[in-house]
Amino acid sequence: ATERTFSIIKPDATERNLTGAVNAVIEKAGLRIVAQKRILMNRREAETFYAVHKERPFFGELVDFMISAPVVVQVLEGDNAVVKYREIMGATNPESAAEGTIRKLYAKSIGENSVHGSDSQENAKLEIAQFFSGNEIVG
């Protein structure tokens, strides 16, 4: 079924001018970018977004990284979008990511891994709502 997922093009990718390269992989996979904006996240937004990871040892590093440079937040739409986007992102650790995936192509490390994608339809709805109002999404 047609569904939506939430994506972030992370600071390591925006700093290397890879926004278009990442978007090309997304569009080639048949996902449509139905909302997109470049923002500088503030600490509170990043901490809220990654609240599920707040007890992890890398939480502070993760938040510092996500606010270190602009990110591009996106809503992607398509058939089976949540699972499809996770497939084309590849594994969290780029060393384990499959050939042709965004993280295999572009990620620098497990932390600076170029993209985020929602892990479920439920989280996609919550994440989209954190960054976009309804009238900013045009399918």
Annotation: binding site: 10, 58, 86, 92, 103, 113
Strand spans (E) along 46-109:
71-79
Among 2, 42, 92, 120, interactor with ligand CMP by CB under 6 A: 92
**x-marked contacts with ligand CMP along 2-41 as a string, rule CB under 6 A:** ----------------------------------------
CA atoms in the 13 A half-sphere facing the CB of 15: 14
Taking contact as CB under 6 A, which single stretch among the options 15-23, 33-41, 56-64, 131-139 is the one that binds ligand CMP?
56-64
**Number of residues in contact with ligand CMP under rule CB under 6 A:** 9
State the CB neighbour count (10 A cutoff) for residue 94.
Answer: 20
By residue count, the chain amounts to 139
- Alpha carbon dihedral 139, 23, 41, 82, in 10-degree steps, equals 60
**What are the residues whose beta carbons fall under 8 Å from the beta carbon of 67, sequence distance 6 or more?**
40, 41, 42, 43, 46
Does 62 help bind ligand CMP (rule: CB under 6 A)? yes
**Which residues carry out catalysis?**
116
What does the binding site for ligand CMP look like in residue numbers (CB under 6 A)? 53, 58, 61-62, 92, 110-111, 113, 116
